[in-house]
Amino acid sequence: MTGEAAEGRVVVDLSGKDVLPFLQGLVTNDVLPLAKGPGLVWAALLTPQGKYLADFFVGHLPDGRMILDLPAPLADATLKRLTMYRLRADVRMAPTDLQVGRGIDDAPEGALPDPRHPGLGWRLYGNAPGGPETTDWDAIRVAHVIPESGIELLPEDAYILEAGFERLHGVDFRKGCYVGQEVTARMKHKTELRKGLVRVLVEGQAVPGSTVLSGERDVGRLFTTAGGRGIAHLRLDRAEGVMQAGSAVVRLDPDWPEAARG
């Protein structure tokens, strides 16, 4: 059993004695616990100014392999940047033919829990291709406001705290320095987020990325929609009442408890 194929992913093999310390100094999350055994850590690579470049899973597989599971459109640029930072560290990165399967039913042997949210189930890495997609993953992402690379997460545009990385276990504020850490920590401790991803109610149709208007004011963008709800990035102090995105009517979802924080 391999689950459903997670399309658009690239899996890279990591080797060398410095892999985890090397990544620890670069990415937003604490990867050192992976030295203790199998698991997945979701993390991001940021610009020095604290903006999102890429997100990925760092994995310790049950067979002992260390891997990166990356969005295919960002893989080349991400690996090039990691190589630039590598300097003399004993770290090697090599492409693999591993396929990524995922599911929300009973996890097969060797599967690892998706660390972002229990609703995302598990991920499995192997040589067998996954089956066709039967789960409405967009609906799951919308239900829990989970951003996706290339949709809600745009390189050199998004800030991870506005995108919910803290809530989704993608950033650790106790791990020490990493690229973009100073800006991220300042956003966490010294400011109140005025913008963020929230769940909204949507009546009608809108193209992902449509501008959300409150009256004549631009208050953000509407992204993924499913089942009458959507993920929107909004200016929280201006998003109120009935809003418009294309031909769709948009309202804050009163059942989304994180609305005030993204």
Burial group, residue 132, by CB count within 10 angstroms (0-12, 13-18, 19+): exposed
Q: In this predicted structure, what is the pLDDT of residue 260?
A: 38
**Contact between 246 and 207 (Cβ < 8 Å):** yes
**Contact between 47 and 180 (Cβ < 8 Å):** yes
Q: What is the pLDDT of residues 40-93, one digit of tens each?
A: 999 999 999 999 999 999 999 999 999 999 999 999 999 999 999 999 999 999
Distance CA 19, CA 216 (A): 51
Neighbours of 88 (CB within 10 A): 6
Element (H, E) at 72: helix 72-86
Distance CA 55, CA 42 (A): 7
pLDDT-derived band at 249 (thresholds 50, 70, 90) equals very high
What structural domains and CATH numbers belong to the chain?
A: 4-143 (3.30.70.1400), 194-262 (2.40.30)
Answer yes or no: is pLDDT of 259 > 50.
no
| Average pLDDT of the residues in 242-253 | 96
Q: In this predicted structure, what is the pLDDT of residue 257?
A: 72
Q: What is the pLDDT of residues 130-164, one digit of tens each?
A: 899 999 999 999 999 999 999 999 999 999 999 99
For residue 109, give every residue at least 6 positions away whose Cβ sits within 8 Å of its Cβ, in sequence order, or none.
Answer: none
Q: What is the pLDDT of residues 156-207, one digit of tens each?
A: 999 999 999 999 999 999 998 999 999 999 999 877 889 999 999 999 999 9
What's the one-letter identity of residue 215?
G
